[in-house]
Amino acid sequence: MRKVIVMTAILALTACGQESNDKIERAKAASESAQAQAPVAHWALEITEGQQATITDSTGRLLDNGFTPYIYEREGVKHFLIGPFATEAQAREAQDKMKLKPKLDGIETNIIELPVAN
């Protein structure tokens, strides 16, 4: 799953003309660190910004500001998420940090609880 996330981030960055190695390496590093959190994480921020076409723009802006987005598919529906977070409080803190970043204006999020992996 992490390889899919990294590839999605790489493709998104390439599609919006931001293919610098630095950004790709940051996406890989963030993905590897998120993998260590995954077994205990049950919360995430869902990007509710709108259309699928804006994902490439949003991905670049989020990565530039220290947030690693990923795509999560559940029951055939794809969700554009940031996280995962171990607690709802951590997700709320990340959401508040996003609101303070001027470059992330217009990216709306909802805090959601992820299903427990079986």
Where are the domains positioned within the chain? 2-113
| Residues paired with residue 43 on neighbouring β-strands, in sequence order | 85, 113
Nearest to 111 by CA among 94, 91, 96: 91
Q: What is the per-residue pLDDT for 95?
A: 92
pTM: 0.59
Q: What is the per-residue pLDDT for 38?
A: 46
Q: Is the pLDDT of residue 111 over 60?
A: yes
Rounded-to-integer distance, Cα 88 and Cα 113, Å: 8
Q: What is the per-residue pLDDT for 97?
A: 92
Q: Can you give the C-alpha Rg of the chain in angstroms? A: 13
Nearest to 43 by CA among 75, 5, 83, 77: 83
Mean pLDDT of 33-54: 64
CB atoms within 10 A of CB 29: 12
Contact 28, 39 (CB under 8 A): no
Q: What is the per-residue pLDDT for 51?
A: 47
Q: How many CA atoms lie within 13 A of 37 on its CB side?
A: 16
pLDDT tier for residue 58 given thresholds of 50, 70 and 90: confident
Rounded-to-integer distance, Cα 47 and Cα 104, Å: 11
Mean pLDDT of 43-65: 77
